[in-house]
Structure 1
Amino acid sequence: MSVYLDNASTSYPKPEAVYSSILNYMKNIGANPGRGGYSNALAGDRIIYDCREALMNFFNFNKLENVIFTGNITQSLNILMKSIIKDGWHIITSSMEHNSVLRPLSSLKRSMNIEVDVLKCSENGLIDVDDFKNAIKPNTKLVVLSHASNIIGTIQPLEIIGSICKQKDIYFIVDSAQTAGCISEDFYKLNCNALAFTGHKCLLGPQGVGGFLIDDNLNKEAVTFMEGGTGSLSQSIMQPQFLPDKFESGTLNAPGISGLLAGINYINKIGISTICEIETELCQRLIDGLLNIKSIQVYGLKNAALRTSTVSINSSKINNEELSLILDKGFDIMSRTGLHCAPLAHKTINTFSKGTLRFSIGCFNTKEDIDYTLYAINSILKGRVI
């Protein structure tokens, strides 16, 4: 029996339609979208258009041209932050963020005259809304937050925070890496100005595809981040300033976008509420089983309905790396250990610098997977002494 529990890193397996759509593009289309008027190039154009439209509808957004493709969500967040932040700005983020937020902000802080406040979250990874309100200054211009933790799955109260940002004319960027595809997300209910997404996690697409949705207000603030060929205005050596071309220089990953479209279509067919129910039930089963093992500590909220299906643990009997290795080599159960590119989050939950062993459930996992994993952990820990 093989069990994959690293879906917070990348989802696996993918729906069969994702594999076939990528192969079909490579074998039967092949052409570069936006770079030709012949039939295969136009077929590529149609797939890009359809995926852009699917993403627009998926996040209940209303401007097709404001859906931008990138290579991954890290690129998306870098483009969004580095194209808008200006001297004198005060930016708020949280201690539960991934390095895809923390590192760009740290770099910008070194090179620009900006202030960055990192809100300390609770041990359960939650932002206190009152702390957020108190952190706002007259020069606060931007808030960047993840929708959920990539370590303990805590879902942040982004609708409330976004509403405060909207009232105070503060730009709000959402990192949806851990939520897009497993919980319902509405661009306008989140009250955000931009939402960054990645294709290879809960959206069930391949690696190498990401993007963002941006409203017109934030787009007016943004300068061009990268220049190059767009297939449009080729007579000019200046980058087009209309969307999506303003942010889409160079060749898009058309096979990957084809795969992402198939992933979104699969989610729409199954229903995101159904996927959420499956993952929540399995997550609660895993948490309850882990809580019955005395030498295991489970981090974060214990109610799976309040988190995504990402669970981090430590054991007093065995270190994370050894436990993960034995799970892999002895039981064919795949997990992840370490700091998960989120050092401040581990400081927040008091697991720095040893990190945690992380299990992250996907929509293709089963009750048998969870029960087998609990059996394996109990088997490994049985007989071990502190």
Structure 2
Amino acid sequence: METAYFDHAASSWPKPPEVVSAMQDVMLHYAANPGRGSHRMAVQASRTLFEARRNLAKLFRIKNPNDISFTLNTTMALNQAILGFVKPGDHVVCTAVEHNSVRRPLEFLKQTRGIHITYVATDSTGALTVDEVRDAIRPETTLMVCSHSSNLLGSILPVAELGQLCRDRKIRLLVDAAQTAGTLEVDVVQMGIDMLAFPGHKGLLGPQGTGGLYVAPDLELTPLLYGGTGSQSEAIEQPTVRPDRYESGTQNTVGIAGLNEGVKFVLHETVEQIHKREWNHTQRIMDALMSTNGVTVLGPQLGRDKTGIVSFNVHQADSSEVAFILDQSFQIAVRAGYHCTPLAHATAGTMDRGAVRASVGYYTSDEEVDRLITAVREIAKHLG
């Protein structure tokens, strides 16, 4: 029996065939350095990167594709945004469901630059009120950081309203789209997003080792990396032109070629239809698990909008034990533990044992959903 994969919130799998073909095509025919030469292979590599930027700009409603810089993942993008923007003495507002990729850079700056941080509480399901964020803002607040959706609870935060609040208060907004890029509509202009960090390997259906950061045209960051960019090589300083300023070193042409095809796939299928498909799966899972004795489901209640994540616990069992049984006895892949987001687990009241996270994706089938429901019910019966 083939494994039923419910770990899309970590990395989507399988990938569209076009993604695999594009990556193979680079390796076979033009695996040269983009932006570093004028021969035809290097030019083709550069074109691939620009096409990917252009398609990402179309997806996120970004006016200038060059405002997107490629990174290895969302974590690197968030570090570039946070470390490149926040200055000593600044005050930063973020939420109590943030990933460690936000929390750890901020806490590092608290120790090294003397910044101040306010974590705005959500309710136990991950819901956030804009009024509480407004109350947390101080005169020295310069940045609001917010995950578009919690990677534990699947709750969707009111980014557009936060964007308007930040515009009114002249505060920059950084959005972590790790769980929403490719599965929820993102319009950086209408939503007031100044910086958008996103992965290539989740909802965009690209390979691991890809991601990016959008930076608003009127915003300048201190680069995270310094080095060769293929432009202004005679200068000692890092180039000011984008995207070179934030892209030192050879880029992952193979991975970005795959990412480009993943983005094209999302554009063709449409984010709206992908979200609807995932939502239907999550509702079926939630409905079944909520009616199963001994199973506690976290996050927004049935019928509420959310991303493709269903986190749960079974009786008093440790989440790792449940995940191990699902893998070894039922060939179902889920993620257990703390999901690099202790803040969200503290919010949900699951710091004692973590949670089992089942996350769906574009390729999740009804049959796989049935297998998961049946397996969890059997485990609950056995452990009860």
For 2:352 and 2:107, locate their aligned partners in 1 and report how far apart those are by CA, in whole Å. Answer: 20
Correspondence for 1:342: 341
> Superposed, which structure 2 residues align to 1:34-183 within 5 Å?
34-183=35-184
Q: Which amino acid aligns with 1:137?
A: R
1:211-290 paired onto structure 2 within 5 Å = 211-219=212-220, 222-290=221-289
The CA deviation at 1:70 is 0.9
Distance, in Å, in 1 between the alignment partners of 2:74 and 2:240 is: 22
Q: How many Å apart are 1:190 and its aligned residue?
A: 1.5
Shift of 1:330: 1.1
Residue 317 (structure 1) shift: 5.4
State whether residues 229 and 250 of structure 1, in contact with CA within 8 Å, keep that contact through their aligned partners in structure 2. yes
Sort the Cα spacing of 1:55 and 1:73 in 2 relative to 1 into closer, same or farther, 3 A: same
Rounded to whole Å, the distance in 2 between the matches of 1:269 and 1:64 is 19
Greater mean alpha carbon deviation, residues 343-352 or residues 299-308: 299-308
| Structure 1 SS opposite 2:118 | strand
Contact 1:339–1:353, Cα closer than 8 Å, also in 2: no
Query: What is the alpha-carbon distance in structure 2 between the residues aligned to residue 313 and residue 93 of structure 1?
Result: 25
Shift of 1:237: 2.2
User: How many Å apart are 1:320 and its aligned residue?
Assistant: 1.6
Gaps of 5+ in 1: none
- Secondary structure of the residue aligned to 1:45 is helix
**CA distance in 1 between partners of 2:271 and 2:360 (Å):** 15
Local SS of the residue matching 1:278: helix
Q: Which deviates more from structure 2 when the two are superposed, residues 120-129 or residues 254-263?
A: 120-129
| TM-score normalised per structure 2 | 0.98
1:201 aligns with 2:212: no
Specify the code of the residue in structure 2 equivalent to 1:167: D
Contact 1:283 1:304 in 2 (8 A): no
Indicate conservation of the 8 Å contact 1:280/1:305, yes or no: no
Task: Give CA deviations for 1:292-321 in whole Å, capped at 9, x if unaligned.
Answer: 111000011123551101011011153322
SS in 1 for 2:198: strand
Higher mean alpha-carbon deviation, 11-20 vs 233-242, is at: 233-242
Runs of 4+ in 1 over 4 A off after TM superposition: none
TM-score, reference length from structure 1: 0.97
* d(CA) in 2 for partners of 1:98, 1:140: 21
- For residues 162 and 260 of structure 1, the distance between their equivalents in structure 2, rounded to whole angstroms, comes to 28
Name which of structure 1's ranges 237-246 and 203-212 shifts more when overlaid on structure 2: 237-246
Whole-Å Cα distance in 2 between the matches of residues 24 and 268 of structure 1? Answer: 22
SS of equivalent to 2:383: coil
Deviations 1:114-166 (A, max 9, x none): 11101111101112211111111111110011000000100001100110000
Give the unaligned 5+ runs of structure 2: none
1:317–1:381 contact (8 Å) kept in structure 2:
no
Assess, with a 3 A threshold, how the Cα gap between structure 1 residues 358 and 332 changes in structure 2: closer, same or farther.
Answer: same
Q: Deviations over 1:188-245 (max 9, x none)?
A: 12111111111000000000011111112222xx223321000111112221111111
CA distance in 1, matches of 2:303, 2:197: 24
Number of residue pairs aligned between Structure 1 and Structure 2: 383
| Alpha-carbon separation, structure 2, partners of 1:21 and 1:377 | 38
Q: Distance in 2 between matches of 1:270 and 1:171?
A: 32
Match of 1:375 in 2: 374
Are 2:294 and 2:314, in contact at CA under 8 Å, matched by a contact in 1? yes
SS in structure 1 at match of 2:329: helix
Deviation at 1:383, TM superposition (A): 4.0
Q: Does 1:187 align with 2:152?
A: no
